[in-house]
Structure 1
């Protein structure tokens, strides 16, 4: 695994999400705008920066699981979670 994940425009995740552009970043994650390849929906994809840190990886996946259970108009909906090339990501409404 590489130490830090660097997504690039045009990359396709899991044959579904085409990365378009970076829209944000924080200390532990990068957020990219993407489009569902078949449905055409715009989404946000959040990537863990350092996926080989087991504790951060577990927290990231737990965050996705907990957030996916919340249904409220003021909370971003988690649409999917996945792993590509040992890098975890979550897909959110945009």
Structure 2
């Protein structure tokens, strides 16, 4: 299953240009943000914004209400789908499909 999950940008990663630290369900992850930032000005405005994250890349910007609605939907899915629940808790699934 491929899931994009909302996360809030905490700060830019000063040691790795083009990356930022993003809070994804309480877990801080380094995420490449070059796909959502057209230039340096957009990059500096990123902290505090919400992004949709998939496999270490920010795929798009989200507004806060859209991010929270998506997180709520994923939490509801996590009650029925063990893989989603593990992902939201920062774990990994090792299920063979």
- In proportion to residue count, which structure has more helix? 2
* TM-score category (smaller protein): 0.3 to 0.5
TM-score relative to the length of structure 1? 0.35
Q: Point out the structure with max Rg over C-alpha.
A: 2
TM-score, scaled to structure 2:
0.34
Q: Which has the higher strand share?
A: 1
